[in-house]
A and B are shown apart, each in its own frame.
Chain A
Amino acid sequence: MSAASAHSVVESKPWTRHLAGGVVILYALITILPLVWILMTSFKTPPDSISYPPKVIFEPSLEGYVNLFTTRTRQTPEYMASLPPPENWVERLVRDRNMVIAGPSKFGERFLNSVIIGFGSTFLSVFLGTLAAYAFSRFKVPLKDDLMFFILSTRMMPPIAVAIPIFLMYRTLGLSDTHLGMILLYTAVNVSLAVWLLKGFIDEIPREYEEAALIDGYTRLQAFVKVVLPQAATGIAATAIFCLIFAWNEYAFALLLTSGTAQTAPPFIPTIIGEGGLDWPAVAAGATLFLIPIVVFTIVLRKHLLRGITFGAVRK
């Protein structure tokens, strides 16, 4: 009790705070370093990117980004000399390497596919998850505990374990390489997580709130929308981030089930080939751009996330 009387229970001693701060900073450095590396590589020229020892100071170049968004062909010096002068900096950059732009690359489309499939499946998972979690939380559902366990059990194996049956099933159903197919697949994987997370959050919202609304003349659906949803916002935001991160980063199924129309960015980025092997700056540029939506989404929802990530344990 002597420690508790000298310091409040909540406030820790200065040295423990410094230690904790140090650990957090160290951890942040370790996790941020690869990202910084990728960001730096994306602004290097291909020779700089593979030079040894690695260059920390270098002249930044947009070649990686140009290469990411274009396809190029190598030409003979005679042909290059016969061309009119380059119209813009992009063309000049490409011609410096004795190449001309053949057309846009597929990166834009693949990125858009990732956005559609990632956000689509996140929305669907959270939507279905919220409704299911509400029902499990508030109503007498027969075999409730068994159903909840069943829902959880769908995540007890790695999803890729069912890759072959899904591959065959999708081929038969014509869902291979379609946006709908990928959205359904990611939703199927995420919805169990969403139900479990959201049920925890909704369980914590006292029933009295809805009951008060019912007494005041609102229907159950109106009470759900006006009273439960706003209070579950934190949980919904946290759940949405988890779902989006999974769908956004998913690689194995995307590689297996998509090749063209619905291919997402993760299987596409490694296929960016430059002359004489992988074009590392272009790959790094793709990875950098690919990170941005998740970062933005997380920042937008971080107010909720900070509270949500504790899974309701300290929510008031």
Chain B
Amino acid sequence: MAEVQLQGVTKRFGDLTAVEGMDLTVADGEFVVLLGPTGAGKTTTLRLVAGLEKADEGSIHIGGQDVTGAPPTVRDVSFVFQQYSLYPHLTVYDNLAFPLRSPVRRVPEEQIRQRVTEIAEMLRIPGKLANKATQLSGGEMQRVAIGRALVRAPQIYLMDEPLSSLDAKLRAEMRVELKRIQKELGATLLYVTHDQIEAMTMANRIGVIDHGRLIQVGAPRTIYEEPDNVYVATRLGQPAINLIPRDLLPAGSLPAAAATIGARTEHIRIRKADTGSAQGRVQWIEHLGDQNHLHVTVGERKITTLVEPDSPLEVDDQVTLELINPLYFDSAGARVRA
């Protein structure tokens, strides 16, 4: 395992800049998650690290060695692709063994068998080893794909939305499992997703990326609690952060530059209104089981927040809302610290 460093990396496809001036260091043994919407340049970033794309500008170092122009074969990374990572003409066993059988490694068959069995156990697919890769469910395929990466110990694991086609339950299990494996191996891992829960739960650090630019990098809590701008604030949090104009609700003393207030559930205190003091009205309640989403209208605005399932609030109730230490953003969207 090794440190991976991107410095000012830019990649263009014709007129389109897929990745722009990317500076990112993944420390040895660190789990970094790139979080961003579709088309943000996440896959392209991974492909640049793997050497499948050549950077137009900037440099890439793996383990202190400049690999900017090196072909994939010598970079010693492993890659879980977003799709199509299993060879359909091979069995699951042969798929898992494929990286170990590479001519640059020459692992004895006996050792391969041992390693493949181990990985299959780890990913809970031991019964499927003899199947053709096409005779698997989507979730099993994705686990084999992860297994293909895990059979060897490269400088860095690159994973492109590896859990995206699993059902919710399996995804939750795999999140925990993958994190455990990564910790155990002390693996360096650069992981791409647009799922904020994956990012929050697995990452040592999250890099929020949009339109090819790295907007903010930091620990999950930092990204969540101290976003640098509106964009990062909207990427995390369920339900999404409420962005409201500064004078919509009383919020005590506001910083002068604040144009928008970002209010998450934990910033909002909501109460049934005493007569005459109401600011909003409960429009609609979504029951999610363990909690409720409360949709409140304040004038023309809608605010969504979480309440306990045993909350006494009902549809059409008049409510008052109070903001407690919300986030402030200026008119350009940058964070204004109180």
A residues bordering B, Cβ < 8 Å? 206, 208-209, 211-219, 222, 227, 230-231, 233, 316
Q: Which residues of B contact A209 (CB under 8 A)?
A: 84, 87
Contact A219 B73 (CB under 8 A): yes
18 contacts between A and B (CB under 8 A): A208-B85, A209-B87, A211-B50, A211-B52, A212-B85, A213-B98, A215-B51, A215-B72, A215-B75, A215-B79, A216-B102, A217-B99, A217-B103, A217-B105, A218-B73, A222-B103, A227-B87, A231-B88
Chain A residues lying within 8 Å of B89, measured Cβ to Cβ, are: 230-231, 233
* B191 at interface, CB cutoff 8 A: no
How many chain B residues sit at the interface, stated as a range, is 20 to 34
Report B-chain residues with C-beta under 8 Å of the C-beta of A213.
98
How many interface contacts (CB-CB < 8 Å) are there between A and B? 56
Most buried by B among A208, A212, A227: A212
CB distance from A174 to the nearest CB of B (A): 44
Whole-angstrom CA separation of A215 from B80 in the bound complex? 10
Asked if A211 and B87 make an inter-chain contact with CB atoms under 8 angstroms apart, the answer reads no
| CB of B70, distance to nearest CB on chain A (Å) | 12
Bound Cα distance A222, B50 (Å): 18
Q: B291-333: which have CB < 8 Å to A?
A: none
A215 contacts B105, C-beta separation under 8 Å? no
Q: Residue B48 at the A interface, CB < 8 A? A: no
> Bound state CA distance, A218 and B83, in angstroms?
20
Known A-B contacts A216-B78, A230-B89; the reply to A211 vs B103 at CB < 8 A is no
Question: Any chain A CB within 8 A of the CB of B93?
Answer: no
B189 to chain A, nearest CB (A): 15
A contact face: mostly helix, strand, loop, or mixed: helix
The one of A206, A211, A217, A316 that contacts B104, using a Cβ cutoff of 8 Å: A217
**Complex Cα gap A271–B72 (Å):** 62
A214–B72 CB distance below 8 A: yes
| B73 contacts across to A, CB distance below 8 A | 214-215, 217-219
* Contact between A216 and B98, CB atoms less than 8 A apart: yes
A217 to chain B: which residues have CB within 8 Å? 73, 76, 99, 102-105
A230 to B84, CA, bound (A): 15
10 further interface pairs, Cβ-Cβ under 8 Å (given A206-B83, A231-B89): A208-B81, A208-B84, A213-B98, A216-B102, A218-B103, A219-B73, A222-B103, A227-B87, A230-B87, A231-B88
Contact across chains for B79 and A212 when beta carbons are under 8 A apart: yes
